[in-house]
Structure 1
Amino acid sequence: MTYIRQLGEVGRGDLALAGGKGANLGELVQAGLPVPAGFVLLTTAYEAFIEANGIAAQILELAALPHGAALQDYEQAALRIRELFTGGRLPADVDVALRAAYRGLGGEGAAVAVRSSATAEDLASASSAGQQDTYLNIRGAEALAAAVTACWASLWTARAMAYRARAGIDPAAVRLAVVVQDMVDAEAAGVMFTANPANGRPDQLVISAAWGLGESVVGGSVTPDDIVVEAGTGRILSRHTGDKQVMTVRVERGTAEQPVPGERRRQPVLDDTAAAVLARLGEQAAGRFQAPQDIEWALAGGTFCLLQSRPVTALRAPSGEVPTEWPVPYPKGMYFRASIVEQLPDPLSPLFADLIEGSVIRSLRALMTRSFGGKPLHEGDLGFPTVNGYAYYFYSTTGMLRMLGKTLPAVRALARGDAQLGIAGWRDYAHPRYEQQVAGWAAQPAGDLSGSRLLEGVSALLDAGTAYYTAVQSVIPAAATSETCFRQYYDRCVRREGDPPAQTFLLGFDSEPIRAEKSLFSLAAWTRDQPRLAEALRDMPAAALADVLRGGTVPDGPELEWRQWRERFVRHLDRFGHAVYNLDFLTPVPADDPAPLLATFKYYLDGLGSNPHLRQQRSADRREEATRDVLARLGPARRAAFTRLLRWAQSAAPVREDALADIGLAWPPMRRMLRELGRRLVDAGVIAEPADVFWLRLAELRSAVDFGLAGTDGTGPAITGAQRPVMVDAVERRRMRWRGQRQAAAPQMLPMIPWLERAVAGLMPAGSQRQSGDVIHGVGASAGRVRAPACVLAGPEDFSRMRPGDVLVARMTTPAWTPLFAIAAAVVTDVGGPLSHSSIVAREYGIPAVLGTGVATQRIASGQQVGVDGDAGTVTTAGPVSHSAEATPQ
């Protein structure tokens, strides 16, 4: 049996024998890169050890912990397993081979580094970084044998077993090799990423460096130097020199930390030339693996060496710089992120930005003309520009004064229902007209339309959606006023000690988001009654199920049940799948991509969460009982006022949710038309994939249409040669810039004038972004207190990260986010108020909500324990980042 191979004798094809670390080091050696001399004690030695000592079955028995086992269970199992290894003996043939290889490194007493190399480690899919042990400055054969045994035992540490359980790795399939190398007496060391982990840029390398051995950097005990190097050129893009207070050094046996001499603490570890040399080695390593690498390196005697290399497994998509300045395009005016902008939490995609500006202005001008006659808005009074990609309403100073003068007439028009405003205007005019416009375009197959007709349809549908949203904006204040009037009358004139809060009288009614939730719950209940189908659905990833719903191949199994499930889910999407997560048509609606819905569906499928039918009935029963109690004790005058205000509020609130939920009616046909244009432009060689159409400017798309590149057959003149990369590269640059912009916190108002911000704070949908400290202030929109891990979601692409009992933290929510409320412990948003969608749904679900914080998504990290107080309107952020605790009421 072969137990030893030299590093240069193994490579990526030897993962099962050499483990991830050994295989990767072998690749570096074969590529001619500087790696300390050494060998690999193969997994065959590990197998021989557990067989000779008869501990294989005991290990697997101890490691077979149930799903969701607590950390202490893993720790107890790890302790028992370590005892099995420390009580064992090396088989004689393994011992002989290990001693011989060790002598080949420099004889008895040579100092070596002993590193674990698991078969489930340093992989592209799972790095397992730091899960197994490393021992440095080991001297002598006996100490080496002990270090090897300790490495083998570290395959079964608590953190390693828990990590593999989460990754779905079978404990019976893992083995561990051991890498033994010459110990480098490093004067400096650190880590290097060959792609920038902060922004995903593959053209930037990031180097962390400290004095002494690299353990202080890897272990986080020192603040290292950080250097960003441009790939290819070696140019230093940025440098931060840390205050390096400690360093790890070799001692007689092992290593120790000692203080860095004062004169070296603030001294750069690597100058620009050395950093460029190291970066070049990193580029060569990444080229060898054809993937970004996380590399540990050391500097000894003026020469660099690479100690290990693993794939970067969680690299974000490349992004541009995060904006810090907010220059306004037009002077002499104010910029606000309110109204329709509340539904646009992210930077706009280029095509949407170009189309929506004119659409919003046309819609508002039409409304003002209907309301007041003439031309109440002058040229230049109103704009809808973007600043760093974020949409803003712009009002010139004179236009704003002119609009303020129209406030009282506008309120009278709203109260009378003039100009198709208010609830009656929405019900009798805006909603049926919108449905009619959408149906007309949806009836025309996108594949049969010319490019110019498709573009016309997109513009017409967006205009219809914008006009509808403008009408909805008149429903919201009508509904809010009814609720506010009822609450104030009840609290001041009716409520006694022990009476329920006003919201009790407004819950338990049907609305479109609640109907959508009940539909999904009922679908899950039907599925549970088909046991074979339910089991298959539980095991399938959401992406695969989404493909089935889009018409993909039905999996093997109960074919009839699969077909029935698909038909039922498609009917659900046909009815509710137009709800938008974000008004920008860049973001798919559920009808296009049902994957975000499927996590909630599976949650219901497992029998978790409250039954929305029963929850609604209980709320309705409490409402009716409370109403009877109040009416029974009131005199005629107060009873009449209470009844009139209550009926007004109860009739208006559900209409607001229905109106908001249907904003996206135009989005499925509009996105179909855009994807069809994108498909034709791919055929013509203009863009790389259909979804790239969203990243074109309107002028570019019009030019392509006019040039005949988007004809019905997709066979117009093709852009070839040097022209094609121009648009492909432009699309990628725009995506990168958008990702950087998305990380910024857009001010609610520009220019940022503190006294003016304070003056209009009550009119804005988000709180101050100047908050500091551990307590974030917002608006308490749903009562209750809870402490639980936060889950910060940027959009539907993150929904799968949400776990039952998490606090949902988002910039804002729309009716399309409602399924997440079923599993959330609480809701926290940057934007929103006590009468917004988030607050209404949170109250229906009985979970605390703090809205309009302005800063929650910037100040809270996923996994951080937060305290949400829906009564006080505060979120307490002090607490570690952890997912180990369940939500606990406070």
Structure 2
Amino acid sequence: MAYIRDFGQLGRGDVGLAGGKGANLGELARAGFPVPPGFVLTTAAYADFVESNGLAPRILELATLPPGAHGTDYDGAARRIRALFTGGVMPKEIARELREAYSGLARGTAAPGDGGGADVPVAVRSSATAEDLASASFAGQQDTYLNIRGADDVTAAVIDCWASLWNARAMAYRSREGLDPATVRLAVVVQRMVESDAAGVMFTANPSNGRRDQVVISAAWGLGESVVSGAVTTDDVVLDPASGRVESRSTADKDVMTAYADKGTREQPVPDRQRHQPVLDDSAAAALARQGVAIAEHFGSPQDIEWARSAGEFFIVQSRPVTALPEPSAEAPTEWPLPFPKGMYFRASIVEQLPDPLSPLFADLIDGSVTRSIRALLSEAVGSDVVREGDVSLPTINGYAYYYYSSSGMWRVMGKSLTAMGALARGQAHMGIKGWRDHSHPRYRGLVRRWAAKPLEDLPSSEVLGGISELLDAGTAYYTAVQSVIPIAATSEIMFRSFYDRLVRRAGDPPGQTFLLGYDSEPIRAEKSLFDLAAWTRGHPELAAALASGPAGSIAASVRTGERPAGVDSGEWEQWRTRFQRHLDRFGHAVYNLDFVNPVPADDPSALLETLKFFLRGEGHDPHERQQHSAGRREDQSRAISARLDPVRRAAFTRLLRWAQRAAPVREDALADVGLAWPLMRRMLLELGRRLVDSGIIADPADVFWLRLDELRNAIEFGLATPGASITGAERPVRADAVEQRKMLWRGQRKAAAPQLLPESRWMERAFGSMMPARSQDQCGDTFSGVGASSGQVTAPARVLGGPEDFASMRPGEVLVARMTTPAWTPLFAMAAGVVTDVGGPLSHSSIVAREYGIPAVLGTGVATQRLASGQQVRVDGDAGTVTVERAEA
């Protein structure tokens, strides 16, 4: 036959002939899986029907809509195309082969419960060439017809399936996926019906958490189409397929089921005795799961399977790859056990820069590093007997870092608070702005330069690890020193604004923040550098077009390799690449998150390139002009206010203002350089990772971040992190399973909202809650509050960002929502209409930069990333310090 293929004649490579559904069913049948008998009317039949009726030009004319069209825009075209198909004439040869194949199916062995006969019931299913693929499922875009009997009705159902290739939903979906309508074809699967007593779907990997070691089954009484369409409530079972153990079960109140009608299907009530009865018991679910795993292993990827059961036997009626499966994730923790009793745990200070659970290696290294830096600082400032062994540490709870102070240590530190404030005021222990400028910053920079000059590839692994520890200690000590700059900047601003608001400001005067804007700082200098690069790039149109249209990830890879994009002059490319590299050399150490598992812009500049593309499109404001405007307004208002004050208030106003203006930019400069050592540390760690890959310890160099410190030390001690070392006879990396389990646990932990204070108690909240950088997580309702850090109001869609991996999704005019921001996030503020964070206060980085940009900010909400979703319309009120979800009217 020219147009018909039995399942046994097809395999997974026949998508062009049989469509995705038909090819997969053929593959399953040939592999011996229990597939009800059937055949495929190939795409050649569709093509010949369209050609013989002269439909192709008209179809393409109707199906070609402007880019960005939605499903409803295609409704009229879909109706007219369907009329073209139903008014067409089936070519005689196709009609003859279809009748003969259907008759042959009727003469074959009866499927359970169907009775056989000349009018055997069949399912007629669309099988498009762009369907059930590993890259995109396109599932449910075309039509299926059940319980079709008789050759005439089968022929009519086939034509309806062909027409459904052009329904509004399918055309809009293909347009979004960028698929050329001229290339799509449709085959039709005709398959003996299974008159099932139960049916459903099965995922051989858990689609909710991505775990490949769980099978999820949804089951209902009757036929399975109602499960796929969502028309009935299902039982849901999650199993461990290796052991067959049911890990969770939800048994629904199943009030309706789908059953055969005289023609097609109908819904009918479930008998009372079955409504609350599980459709599958544990042994049946385990047997079905084993079959699903076998199918997944055969295809080599997780599968979305439709199944049916008749007379106690399972049948497979469809299998497609699971697409867009998330990375495996454990369950989010709900308990917060304390590692040490008789103490207090805080998520503040350096922990604000660690919004996510820590990677294992960083957690092991940072604990001792922070402890040493705090003890050294306090020892110099208030005496060596105040903080004792075990008084302070940085443990993790469910992966999240906490400052821990023993109860006795906390009381001793609090008893020395006045002494500490005096030491800060005197600049003792290299604290304060002068200590940062003259000691901490040059010492840190010098150490980074010394290690950067060493030939990394030639160093013994033990020396490399020692260097990593030394650099991290230097970074931690630097951050501790920066923590002494922050209160000076904060105090200076608070005192100036308090004096101004109470004793100077009159109706019509600008807010106090006006007098602190328009100054240079490292984040603002970085923004101006990127803007200037975009301006230079626009002078080279071909280069600008390539950079503006190319994916940021691909451009970042080209920056690393030097391979120029297609169509770009090599000289222009090298000039641009040199300029961009200079930008990265100066500003690329800014951290998104202090955990060194996260790349910095110097490692992966994709996020910066998204902002560069934004500037190339001319969508951003000129930061030079914005800064000049702010500085001009600041100076004009300063002169005007000063001129009207009496001598005493003028002197106080001038002295407090100059103090605040000197301190505020230093804070941002100091914070921006916390990550000076991070690009080098990451290179050193990845060098150790490459050595461990060669030794068979881990599968990928980046897996080194997921080892424990003692594991890394042991590998080095036994020479397994030495170039050329290997484990004799090792077939796979020995820590691969442990690394994957730790990543899965980390992803689950990341879903949790870590309490700001532990143990969770009312007295802790009353005593220390106001000092924490986030509000309570118990806020309910559509409005929640934080700190109004930059004035103004805006209503716009939210964009929730977990980190730089999400930056490409940010669109101009959206509200940036994040757990926290660092100076590395500054480029996004050029796009944002407002800023909302879980963590932060009126003097944090987010507030200072938001004021520079003139956008409202509400910080320290504690709940924003848990309560908001991207695309939700939100109102941000930076004056009231509230965020409100705008509900659409019914």
Using the size of structure 1 for normalisation, the TM-score is: 0.94
- Alignment partner of 1:305 is 2:321: no
Following TM superposition, by how much is the alpha carbon of 1:374 offset from its aligned partner in structure 2, in angstroms? 3.0
Other-structure match for 2:630: 619
After superposing the two structures, state which structure 1 stretch, 7-16 or 795-804, moved more.
795-804
CA distance in 1, matches of 2:22, 2:786: 53
Q: Which of the residues 731, 735, 747 maps onto 1:727?
A: 735
After superposing the two structures, state which structure 1 stretch, 597-606 or 90-99, moved more.
90-99
Quick one: which amino acid aligns to residue 481 of structure 2?
Answer: A
Other-structure match for 1:9: 9
After superposing the two structures, state which structure 1 stretch, 372-381 or 668-677, moved more.
372-381
Distance 1:414 1:246, change over 3 A: farther
Q: Deviations over 1:133-178 (max 9, x none)?
A: 2222334444434433333333233333333233222222222222
CA distance in 2, matches of 1:629, 1:141: 92
- Alignment partner of 1:231 is 2:219: no
SS in 2 for 1:586: coil
- Alignment partner of 1:463 is 2:476: no
CA distance in 2, matches of 1:616, 1:59: 56
Pairs within 5 Å for 1:655-694: 655-694=666-705
CA distance in 2, matches of 1:878, 1:401: 46
- Alignment partner of 1:518 is 2:555: no
- Alignment partner of 1:757 is 2:768: no
Q: Which of the residues 764, 785, 790 maps onto 2:793?
A: 785
After superposing the two structures, state which structure 1 stretch, 138-147 or 176-185, moved more.
138-147
Following TM superposition, by how much is the alpha carbon of 1:294 offset from its aligned partner in structure 2, in angstroms? 0.8
> Residues 696 and 730 of structure 2 are in contact (CA less than 8 Å); yes or no, is this contact kept in structure 1?
no
Distance 1:76 1:496, change over 3 A: farther
Q: Deviations over 1:685-725 (max 9, x none)?
A: 222221122122222222222323334xx134x33346964
- Alignment partner of 1:59 is 2:59: yes
Pairs within 5 Å for 1:412-811: 412-557=422-567, 558-711=569-722, 714-716=723-725, 718-721=726-729, 725-811=733-819
Following TM superposition, by how much is the alpha carbon of 1:761 offset from its aligned partner in structure 2, in angstroms? 1.7
Distance 1:806 1:244, change over 3 A: farther
> Residues 334 and 751 of structure 1 are in contact (CA less than 8 Å); yes or no, is this contact kept in structure 2?
yes
SS in 2 for 1:346: coil
After superposing the two structures, state which structure 1 stretch, 357-366 or 305-314, moved more.
305-314
Pairs within 5 Å for 1:86-485: 86-106=86-106, 109-485=119-495
Following TM superposition, by how much is the alpha carbon of 1:278 offset from its aligned partner in structure 2, in angstroms? 0.9
Distance 1:875 1:257, change over 3 A: farther
Q: Which of the residues 811, 814, 818 maps onto 2:822?
A: 814
Following TM superposition, by how much is the alpha carbon of 1:783 offset from its aligned partner in structure 2, in angstroms? 3.0
CA distance in 1, matches of 2:501, 2:76: 56
After superposing the two structures, state which structure 1 stretch, 294-303 or 275-284, moved more.
294-303
CA distance in 1, matches of 2:499, 2:847: 20
Other-structure match for 1:831: 839
Distance 1:595 1:284, change over 3 A: same
After superposing the two structures, state which structure 1 stretch, 351-360 or 635-644, moved more.
635-644
Distance 1:612 1:72, change over 3 A: farther
> Residues 71 and 171 of structure 2 are in contact (CA less than 8 Å); yes or no, is this contact kept in structure 1?
no
Other-structure match for 2:22: 22
> Residues 123 and 191 of structure 2 are in contact (CA less than 8 Å); yes or no, is this contact kept in structure 1?
yes
> Residues 386 and 409 of structure 2 are in contact (CA less than 8 Å); yes or no, is this contact kept in structure 1?
no
Following TM superposition, by how much is the alpha carbon of 1:80 offset from its aligned partner in structure 2, in angstroms? 4.1
Following TM superposition, by how much is the alpha carbon of 1:388 offset from its aligned partner in structure 2, in angstroms? 1.6
Other-structure match for 2:861: 853
Q: How many residues align?
A: 878
> Residues 509 and 620 of structure 1 are in contact (CA less than 8 Å); yes or no, is this contact kept in structure 2?
yes
Distance 1:744 1:7, change over 3 A: same
CA distance in 2, matches of 1:658, 1:400: 31
Q: Deviations over 1:378-411 (max 9, x none)?
A: 1221111111221111111111111111222222
SS in 2 for 1:868: strand
> Residues 241 and 286 of structure 2 are in contact (CA less than 8 Å); yes or no, is this contact kept in structure 1?
no
Distance 1:406 1:216, change over 3 A: farther
CA distance in 1, matches of 2:163, 2:622: 47
> Residues 224 and 244 of structure 1 are in contact (CA less than 8 Å); yes or no, is this contact kept in structure 2?
yes
Following TM superposition, by how much is the alpha carbon of 1:126 offset from its aligned partner in structure 2, in angstroms? 1.0
CA distance in 2, matches of 1:196, 1:382: 41
> Residues 223 and 259 of structure 2 are in contact (CA less than 8 Å); yes or no, is this contact kept in structure 1?
yes
Distance 1:303 1:397, change over 3 A: same
- Alignment partner of 1:844 is 2:852: yes
CA distance in 2, matches of 1:878, 1:250: 45
SS in 2 for 1:296: strand
CA distance in 2, matches of 1:133, 1:673: 56
Distance 1:735 1:331, change over 3 A: same
> Residues 864 and 880 of structure 1 are in contact (CA less than 8 Å); yes or no, is this contact kept in structure 2?
no
Quick one: which amino acid aligns to residue 241 of structure 1?
Answer: T
After superposing the two structures, state which structure 1 stretch, 469-478 or 167-176, moved more.
167-176
Following TM superposition, by how much is the alpha carbon of 1:286 offset from its aligned partner in structure 2, in angstroms? 0.5
Q: Deviations over 1:323-345 (max 9, x none)?
A: 22211111011111111111111
Following TM superposition, by how much is the alpha carbon of 1:275 offset from its aligned partner in structure 2, in angstroms? 0.3
CA distance in 1, matches of 2:364, 2:613: 39
CA distance in 1, matches of 2:273, 2:132: 37
CA distance in 1, matches of 2:872, 2:593: 26
> Residues 696 and 734 of structure 2 are in contact (CA less than 8 Å); yes or no, is this contact kept in structure 1?
no
Following TM superposition, by how much is the alpha carbon of 1:803 offset from its aligned partner in structure 2, in angstroms? 3.3
CA distance in 2, matches of 1:822, 1:328: 41
Following TM superposition, by how much is the alpha carbon of 1:121 offset from its aligned partner in structure 2, in angstroms? 1.2
Following TM superposition, by how much is the alpha carbon of 1:815 offset from its aligned partner in structure 2, in angstroms? 1.2
CA distance in 2, matches of 1:539, 1:371: 55
CA distance in 1, matches of 2:882, 2:260: 50
> Residues 108 and 141 of structure 1 are in contact (CA less than 8 Å); yes or no, is this contact kept in structure 2?
no
Following TM superposition, by how much is the alpha carbon of 1:878 offset from its aligned partner in structure 2, in angstroms? 6.2
Quick one: which amino acid aligns to residue 638 of structure 1?
Answer: R
Identity across the alignment (%): 69
SS in 1 for 2:449: helix
Unaligned runs of 5+ in 1: 882-890
Following TM superposition, by how much is the alpha carbon of 1:880 offset from its aligned partner in structure 2, in angstroms? 8.3
> Residues 684 and 715 of structure 1 are in contact (CA less than 8 Å); yes or no, is this contact kept in structure 2?
yes
Other-structure match for 2:109: none
Distance 1:644 1:67, change over 3 A: farther
Other-structure match for 1:874: 882
> Residues 548 and 566 of structure 1 are in contact (CA less than 8 Å); yes or no, is this contact kept in structure 2?
no
Distance 1:43 1:365, change over 3 A: same
> Residues 781 and 850 of structure 1 are in contact (CA less than 8 Å); yes or no, is this contact kept in structure 2?
yes
Unaligned runs of 5+ in 2: 107-116
Distance 1:569 1:97, change over 3 A: same
CA distance in 1, matches of 2:308, 2:803: 41
> Residues 68 and 176 of structure 2 are in contact (CA less than 8 Å); yes or no, is this contact kept in structure 1?
no
